[in-house]
Amino acid sequence: MAEAPYPHEHPHRDAALAEIHARPVDLIDAEARVRRLVFTVDPQSGAMTKTIARFLAFAADLDVSPNEAGARRYVFTTPLRQVTWEFHTEFVTITWRAARHDDTNWPDDIGLDALGEAQLVGAIRVDLIDQDSIPEHLLPGFSLPSLCFISVESGGAQVATDFVPDADKFIRIEFAAGSLSPLRRAIVLRRLLEMETYRTMALLALPLARDVTPGLRALEIELSALIESLSDAETTDQVRQKLDGLVTLSVQAGQISEKLGYRFAAAHAYGTILRSRLEKLRETTLGRGSSLSSFIGNRVEPALSTCAAIERRLEALSTKIARTVSLLDVRIGLDMQIQNKTVLETIAETAKSQFRLQHTVEGLSTIAITYYAIGILGYAVSAPIEVLNWDKTLVMSAAAVPMLIVVWASMRWIRNRKH
């Protein structure tokens, strides 16, 4: 039996299938040292594409033949390290694993020069220990006030960190995973790396929120003062002046919102991912120090709440401005209607005056035309009157009224025809 023709594929089917394997779990030895660097890329269009191009040029120059495991994930091996580059929406991570005794924090064979103008925002070092618990002699090296000492994977492994950067700005994490299978060890390791990655990325919004707070407060105060002064605006020009002030405030609020929009949205997304990673660790405190969820939550959640509060204040400010602008538009519309009514009443009164004046002029014109018509008639009939021996004064008096009627009727006919 003949096969049916192959159906048309959706243009994004391959991308959807590739996404399933875009972030695979890399199995790792029980004893190793893993480092990750997190770099933000310039937000300008095309910056990430240029970064990828520079990385590929680096890979070609060293002939390391990176293995593309996903759309934006590249893995290659150097004599001492296995390196993974991952390109995200706005940041790049470089993760490499080496022997436990590797002390090189900034190796020259992982392609750091390809980052160009990218800026470092995070650096993590995870030391994997092939034991069931973290050796006691490693704990004094952490800062006790910020120590996080927990068990994960239902007690199958232990994690310790204090989130205090060392001399090279790396956050040190000790991870004793001797009882875990290679797969579970790799999964927990990835969650630890992602936890610190997304914690740092989420907190990038806080300095920006603090920077715009004074300006936002100034706009709120200025808007309140402007609203309070609206009752003092009596003329249309004064109302328009207030409206111009509101437009200026609206533009400034829009600029702040545009500045914060992407950063705050990204922070909320990173916060959601961070909570998910912490939840999946299934941690339990060991009586010394805090848990990761508690320590990070007490710092990240207030920061995200601050960003959310500023978003709400911006939204409330924009709403107040829009509502006040609407009220002023109504006020200006009413003022214009009143002015138009006054103008129309003036025009109507003028028209009435002109109409009365026109009737007066028409009456005077009728009398004047009649006077001149009788005069002309007098000249015209002078000779016949003398021949007939009639009294001229009597004849002219008799003709005056009919002449007046004829002139009045003629002028009325002309006026009606004109209209």
15 lies in some domain: no
What secondary structure, in 3-state letters, does 271-307 show?
A: HHHHHHHHHHHCCEECCCCECHHHHHHHHHHHHHHHH
7 lies in some domain: no
Residues 6+ apart with CB under 8 A from 274: 195, 198, 199, 202, 296, 300
Tokens of 51: 């970064």
Single-letter code of the amino acid located at 138: L
Alpha-carbon dihedral of residues 393, 394, 397, 399, nearest 10 degrees?
A: -110
Give the end of a domain, one of 127, 160, 192: 192
Number of folded domains in the chain?
Answer: 3
232 lies in some domain: yes
Domain region containing 409: 347-418
Q: Does one domain contain both 394 and 265? A: no
Distance CA 169, CA 196 (A): 13
210 lies in some domain: yes
pLDDT at 337: 72
Q: Does one domain contain both 73 and 158? A: yes
Give the end of a domain, one of 343, 368, 402: 343
Best CA proximity match to 100, nearest among 28, 26, 182 = 28
Q: In the predicted model, is pLDDT for residue 69 greater than 60?
A: no
Q: Does one domain contain both 28 and 173? A: yes
Q: What is the pLDDT of residues 57-68, one digit of tens each?
A: 888 887 766 666
Q: How many CA atoms lie within 13 A of 4 on its CB side?
A: 2
Tokens of 43: 């937000």
pLDDT at 6: 67
Q: Does one domain contain both 289 and 151? A: no
Q: Does one domain contain both 222 and 301? A: yes
Three-state DSSP class for 10? coil
Q: Average pLDDT, stretch 112-119? A: 91
pLDDT at 294: 92
Q: Does one domain contain both 52 and 177? A: yes
Q: What is the pLDDT of residues 197-229, one digit of tens each?
A: 999 999 999 999 999 999 999 988 988 888 777
Q: Does one domain contain both 274 and 391? A: no
Q: How far is CA 34 from CA 28, 91, 127, 186, 309, in A?
A: 10, 19, 6, 11, 37
Q: Does one domain contain both 56 and 171? A: yes
Q: Does one domain contain both 397 and 310? A: no
Distance CA 172, CA 61 (A): 33
**Do residues 321 and 223 lie in contact, with contact meaning Cβ atoms separated by under 8 Å?**
yes
Best CA proximity match to 195, nearest among 283, 270, 116, 145 = 270
87 lies in some domain: yes
pLDDT at 20: 59
Q: Does one domain contain both 121 and 255? A: no
Strand order in the sheet with 284-285: 67-70, 73-77, 82-87, 91-98, 32-40, 119-129, 171-176, 157-165, 148-152, 284-285
If one compares 297 and 10, the residue with the highest pLDDT of the two is: 297
Q: In the predicted model, is pLDDT for residue 181 greater than 60?
A: yes
Best CA proximity match to 33, nearest among 120, 107, 87, 133 = 107
Q: What is the pLDDT of residues 321-347, one digit of tens each?
A: 888 877 777 766 666 776 777 777 778
> Which pLDDT band holds residue 130 (cuts at 50, 70, 90)?
very high
Best CA proximity match to 77, nearest among 111, 118, 117 = 111
pLDDT at 173: 96
44 lies in some domain: yes
pLDDT at 249: 86
339 lies in some domain: yes
Q: Does one domain contain both 151 and 173? A: yes
294 lies in some domain: yes
Give the end of a domain, one of 317, 343, 369: 343
Q: In the predicted model, is pLDDT for residue 237 greater than 80?
A: no
Q: How far is CA 168 from the centre of its chain?
A: 36
Q: Does one domain contain both 40 and 180? A: yes
